Amino acid sequence: MSKRNARAVVVDCFQDRSSIHSILTNTEELISGNTDIDNHVFFITPINLNDVISSSVSITSVFTRHQVVTSSSKIGAFYKAKTDFDLKDIEDILIVCCLEGLTFWTNTCEILLTPVHQWQIKTLPEAGTTTTKTNATTAVSKVRDKDDGIDDLKVTITNYLQSIDPIGQLNILHSPLFEVDQFVHGFTTRTGGITTIPPMSSLNLHYTVKKRDPPIVIKENLRRVATAAGFDLKTFHPLKPEHGNAVWVMDKEEPVKYDGIVTNRRGVTLAAPGADCIPVIFADPVKMICGAVHAGYRGTVMAAVVETLRVMVSVYNCDPKDVRVAMGPALRPCCAVLEPDDPTVAGLAAISPSCVGRDKAGKPCVDMFKANTIMLLKEGILPEHIDDRSAGICTFCNKDKCFSHQRDGIPFGNQVGFIRML
C-alpha cells in the first residue's frame, strides 16, 4: 500500500487482566471496517501482561501487522512504538484507550508528536458512547485545564528521555584559536543523541514543523551537549535564521529572524545551526565579545559575517585584528555544486572569481569558506585568526559525522556551532 494509507494504531493495554478481552474486541471492531488502511497495530502493555496480550492477539486475523510493546511505564512503551512507526515513515496515528486515558493521551500526543503527525484518539465504548479527539481539535483549544497534568507529564517524559542510551558517541569539534580559560566553544556532529529517525539520527539540535523530532527530544539532545561542553542550557540562545544578514545585539529588542548574534554577556551561549550552511563563531579575547553566524549560500553572498563583525566594531569597539573566527561543518567545494544560472554563482564570483570552480561535468562548484575568509580579511581580521579547517569538514562527504540537507533532503538534522564567554 502507499505511504498515505499506512496507519499506526497504538492500543493502550495498561489495564487489569479482566479488561484485556474487551480492549482487543473493541479494537478489532474499530479497525476491521476499512480495508483501504494498512494498520500497523502496537499493543503497549506492562511487562507482566505480555503473555496475555500475545496469546490473545495471535488468534485474531485482523491484527496481521502487530507488535506487543512492553515496558515498565506507559511512556516507555509508547516511545518504543513511536520509534518503530517513525522508522516506517508512518504519520497517521490512531490511539485507542479507555475514556479515563483521554487526557493522558491527548497530552502525550501534544508532547511527543509534531504537526507532521496526524493523530486521533478514540476511547473504547463506555455506556454506549465513544469519544474522538484529534490534533486538529486540540489545536483550536485556547484555554487549558490547569489540572490536566501536562506539566507533570513533561517531567515524566523528560526523565524517561534522560534514561535512554545515546546512539553513538557525542563528539564536539574545536578550534585552537579560542583560549579554553576564556571561551567554551565547539561544533557538534551528528552522533551522541537519542533521535532515532534516520535523516536526523541521532543528535538533531534544531526543530521545525516539518520534522517528526519533537522539541522535548531536541531539548534532551541539547542537554547532553551542554553537559559535555560545560554550558548552561537555560542561557542557550540559538539564532533564528532566514538566510539573510540581520544581526541581533542581545541587549536590544530581538528581531523575529536573524542570521547573526553578538553579546558581551558572560555565561550566555550563542549558537548557529547548520546542515550545509556554515556555522561561524566569533570571539574577541581583548574586549571579551562573542558572536555566532549562520552563513549559507545566500548569507555568504549577503555578507552576514561582515555585518556581524561590523556590529562588534561599532557597538563594542572591537579591533578586527583581535577577533578570532572559526567555521564549522558545511558544504565544501567538492559538493557545493550549483546550476550555472543560480544567482549564488554570480554572487560568489563577485566576491572573488576564485570562489567559483567547475566540477567534472562542467557545473559551477562554489567555495563558501573561501568567500567568507576573503571578506573577513578585507575587514581587517588577520589570516592566522581565521580557522576554516579544524572543524570545517564537508557535511555531504561525511555522512557518519554530519547532517546534510543537500544529501538527505527533507527532513534533515542540524548540527550547531556554539560559543560562550567564561
- Reported confidence tier of residue 3, pLDDT bands at 50, 70, 90: very low
Task: Read off the CATH number of the domain in which 297 is found.
Answer: 3.60.140.10
What pLDDT, on the 0 to 100 scale, is given for residue 58? Answer: 55
Give pTM, 2 decimals. 0.92
Same structural domain, 150 and 46: yes
**Claim to verify: residue 301 and residue 236 sit in the same structural domain:** yes
How far apart CA 98 and CA 130 sit, in angstroms, is 9
Both 206 and 256 in one domain: the answer is yes
List the domain range (segments joined by +) for residue 360. 172-421
Which of 162, 197, 222 represents a domain boundary (last residue)?
Answer: 162
| pLDDT beyond 60 at 140 | no
Last residue of a domain, one of 128, 162, 196: 162
- Both 408 and 263 in one domain: the answer is yes
Q: How many domains are contained in the chain?
A: 2
Q: Can you tell me the mean pLDDT for 304-333?
A: 98
Kindly state the average pLDDT of the residues 204-227: 96
Whether pLDDT at 301 is above 80: yes
Per-residue pLDDT of 49-65, as tens digits, reads 767 676 666 555 566 78
> Do 22 and 109 reside in the same domain of the chain?
yes
Peptide bond into 411 cis (omega under 30): yes
> What confidence score (pLDDT) does residue 214 get?
97
Indicate which CATH number applies to the domain containing 26: 3.40.50.11700
Summarize the confidence of residues 233-238 as an average pLDDT: 96
Burial of 73 (0-12, 13-18, 19+ CB in 10 A): middle
Question: In this predicted structure, what is the pLDDT of residue 2?
Answer: 43
pLDDT of res. 36: 82
Q: Are residues 158 and 184 in the same domain?
A: no
167 found inside a domain: no
User: Within a domain: residue 298?
Assistant: yes
Tell me, yes or no, whether 274 lies in a domain: yes
Same domain flag for 122 and 198: no
